[in-house]
Amino acid sequence: MDFELTDEQRMFRDSLRDFVAREITPVAQEWEHSGRYPAEIIETMRHLGLFGMTVPEAYGGLEVDMVSFAIAFEEISKGWMGVAGILGSHAMACYIIARHGTEEQRKRYLPALATGERRAGLGLTEPGAGTDLQGITTTAVRDGDDYVINGTKMWITNARYADPLPVLVKTDPSAEPRHKGMSILLVDKGTPGFSVSRDLPKLGYKGTESCEVVLDNVRVPKDSLLGGEEGHGMQQALSGLETGRINVAARALGIAQAAYDAALTYSQQREAFGQRISQFQAIQLKLAQMVTNVQAARLMVYWSASIFDRGQRADMQTGMAKLFASEVAVEASLEAMRVYGGYGYSQEFVVERLYRDAPLMVIGEGTNDVLRFVIARSLLSGKESVG
């Protein structure tokens, strides 16, 4: 067992820390509250090659290992979790195109996606279908050499910039089981009938847009079908969501670490009753529990990523990491607010933003209650074990 990062991973982490300290942390509070889109930050992420993290080197990407992938989301989320979200959906889309696309689709999209010249997202969730993706109602009907798509997608990150947007559809609504009738179509930006109807207001997760997308008789050529064969959309989406759970777990870890860091620093500065509050046992107990939970979450996130890197099935492990890390993020953000007292409720301090961002980690990429079911099912099947 080796719990140490490689030299390459440490260098990658350090370069990201420098980037975050220089370009994200100084502006995150102001830009988040004003609703300013972080265009300048995105441009730097392009130059760092971060849009190509899940793109194979053969197509111009970084093709980083999954531990480095997790490190990227952890470090960026320490500065501003919303910015990390811009990379998250893009990375999942790149992964499914690289893994499941035809060679023509890879050559067409991946080089520009790797540089950030193009961006992508994932059109999965609908008004009546979130975690239960088999419940989607968006359809794609074959018409000659085209598919005609009709439906609505919700909570789509990068919707205004996605080119293409992989969209999960039903190509055979009567199929049983339902997943056999599902496919993914790659919809190019500007395709007639594709529109962003509105931006959805959110408690947190600002900096990136989350949109409602309407597909009204959107006509795409048959070669837009991911992989070139119908009926594999559910499996393709789930393979992307496996990387998605790693990135959400790592984002949660970044929030938790930032909350702990803020609480520790504040406790050593704030005075009450003639001494720094870090000297009070009640505060020390909070800090000790926070840092223990954060480090445990980090080990789980890196562990699940390393299993993915070994080419093993990792849905249970990534589910465990996302479940634990997201709960730690929620608890750490609340405990940091308690350490701050009244100032923790003020928009002038970072813990207020962390407190609003943390709940999404419990919901995103599969709600935690559903992940508990996934973990239990894996254990009861006898195919997975722990220890």
- What whole-number distance in Å separates Cα of residue 296 and Cα of residue 328? 9
365 is known as an active-site residue: yes
The bridge status of strand 210-221 relative to strand 271-272 is unpaired
The span from the CA of 79 to the CA of 273, in Å, is 32
Cis peptide before 201 (omega within 30 of 0): no
Give DSSP secondary structure letters for 94-134. Answer: HHHHHHHS-HHHHHHHHHHHHHTSSB---B--BTTBSS-GG
- What is the rounded (10 degree) CA torsion for 154, 158, 164, 170? -10
**CA distances (Å), 326 to each of 44, 107, 146, 176, 241, in order?**
28, 36, 42, 34, 16
Q: Which of 230, 242, 352, 365 is catalytic?
A: 365
Q: Cα–Cα distance between 293 and 290 in angstroms, integer?
A: 5
Separation of alpha carbons 24 and 258, rounded Å: 13
Q: How far is CA 115 from CA 17, 95, 122, 244, in A?
A: 21, 14, 18, 20
- Report the catalytic residues: 365
